[in-house]
Amino acid sequence: MKKINIITPFSRDQNLSELLLFIQKHLKNIRWIPVCVPSKKVQFDTIIDTLYLRESVYPYYIEEVPNVDICYYKINKALDATNFNHTSDDYYTVMMDDDLYENNVFEEIVKHEEDVVFISMKRGDQIPDDGQWGHGTSTLNASPSDIRACNTGCPQVFVKGSIMQNERFASNNSGADGIFAETIKNKYNCAYRPDLYALFNYLQPGRYNK
């Protein structure tokens, strides 16, 4: 059965409970690959055994490295360690550790056969005054003209394993997500699902009127 492999550069412990509830709700269609520092191994081992997630959650442990964008560095290292021979027909995506998806996304994505599927992304109701980068609240749409650098986020992009094994993010560029999306849009067979939505920074307090 086709699965969606969700890679998450994980460091926000405060979001772990909500992320696990979300993962458990969608076990039919997904595998979760949290990428984190080795000191979290005991924590994840306990969670996996307690919640019976041995076949659904696959943590990957890596030390953080200075002078690179650690988010994309973690993603690339997890991809480098992936055995794509067993998952070439599966899709891969990247969900940051404060993002989520609307509930119908995964069951729709697994129906596709294209190399790449792009979806839209909602970005909340207001910009929280919390000292974080003030990302806007406009919706990013899934259309050929809208998938471009500085206008597309990682959670909008689902890529077949047969393609992902040959692609990586620019780990020295904070805009690597949009650059990646625009690159694969121009290289592969793509489907566009503007009716499906990722939820950018959904777990950031104050961004959404939940």
Q: How many residues does the chain have?
A: 210
pLDDT of residue 35: 96
| 155 secondary structure, DSSP code | G
pLDDT of residue 188: 97
The string of DSSP codes covering 159-173 is EEHHHHTT----TT-
- Domains of the chain are 4-199 (3.90.550.10)
In order along its 210 residues, the chain shows pLDDT tens digits of 899 999 999 999 999 999 999 999 999 999 999 999 999 999 999 999 999 999 999 999 999 887 877 899 999 999 999 988 777 789 999 999 999 999 999 999 999 999 999 999 999 999 998 777 768 999 999 999 999 999 999 999 999 999 999 999 998 787 899 999 999 999 999 999 999 999 999 999 999 997
Cβ atoms of 93 and 171 closer than 8 Å = no
Global confidence as pTM: 0.95
b/e code 150-180 from CB counts within 10 Å (16+ = b): ebbbbbbbbbbbebbbebebbbeeeebbbbb
Helix (H) or strand (E) run with residue 100 in it? strand 100-101
User: Whole-angstrom Cα distance, residue 172 to residue 112?
Assistant: 32
